[in-house]
Structure 1
Amino acid sequence: MKKIFITALFVGTFTLGYAQSDYYNDYRRSVTDVNWQTVAVDLVLSVTQADQLYALNDRYSDYNAWNNAYATNPDRWRTDRYTEIERILGPTKYTKFKTKYYKGKNPVAVYNSNKYKDKRYKHIDKKAKKYKHKKGNKRKNK
């Protein structure tokens, strides 16, 4: 019984840490996938606005800094980040930013939609459905 408990505890801890690192990877991609200097030029941002964007991008330089802010709710980074970008750019420039870099979609929704498209675990769904189906057939036959 102790072995099962310890194993479950270990797996739970590892899974939570891994899930949080996925959130952090999404955060890092939101910073690195966009060329912010090009954004500043394209949207004709003031020096102050550009500096605020760069400071926002440098806010969490590593996983530990990010984890200190979002350990209890790792989903929150999306709304925090894009609300702050909208505040810096203003509503009209933020709309132009979304249109050009996120195909008109809200960036929060873009990263939320990716959250459930994790291809690493898709094969497990198929096996689970197959197992349920077989298990159900055995019951019907008896």
Structure 2
Amino acid sequence: MKKIVIALMLTGTFGLSFAQSDYYNDYRRSINDVNWQSVAEDLLLSVSQTNQLNSLNDRYRDYDSWNRTYVSHPDRWREDRYNEIERILGREKYTKFKKNYYKGQNPVAVYNRNKNNDKKNKGHKNKEYKMNREKRHHH
């Protein structure tokens, strides 16, 4: 019985850590997918604003430092990060930032949507498989 309980606990732990790493990967993409030097040039940011953005991007240099902050709410990084970017840039420049880099959408919503993409695709593939299987059986 103890072995079953331990196995279930380990499964839960690994399942959670996998989900956590997906959030962390989104967090890293939110930094790496944007050329921050171009952002600074395009939006005519001050040296102070550029330094604050660079500091924000360097805040969590690895998974462990990120996870210490977001262990219980891994999806909170989006709101925290983009609220901080808006604070640094100011509303007007933040709106331009969203327009240029997120096609006018709220980046928080973009990453919320991304986290569900895999689920949608898995369901869709499963549905296709079932439909194809049914076609094969009817012939």
Report the TM-score range of the alignment, normalised by the length of the smaller protein: 0.7 to 0.9
How far 1:4 sits from its partner (Å)?
A: 3.2
**Aligned-CA RMSD value:** 2.2
Query: Secondary structure of 1:117's partner?
Result: helix
2:17 alignment partner in structure 1: 17
Q: Distance in 2 between matches of 1:110 and 1:96?
A: 16
Q: 2:83 aligned with 1:79, yes or no?
A: no
List alignment gaps of at least 5 residues for structure 2.
131-139
Quickly say closer, same or farther: Cα 1:119–1:56, change in 2 above 3 A: same
Secondary structure at the aligned position of 1:110 is classed as helix
Give the % identical residues. 66
2:96 matches 1:96: yes
Q: Which runs of 5+ in 1 are unaligned?
A: 131-142
Give the partner amino acid of 1:7.
A
Paired residues, what number?
129
Distance verdict in 2 for CA 1:65–1:45, change over 3 Å = same
**Structure 2 equivalent of residue 36 of structure 1:** 36
1:62 maps onto 2:62 in alignment? yes
Runs (4+) of structure 1 exceeding 2 A deviation are: 1-7, 123-127
Aligned position for 1:51: 51
| Normalised TM-score (structure 2) | 0.85
Q: What letter matches 1:18 in structure 2? A: F
Equivalent position of 2:136 in the other structure:
none
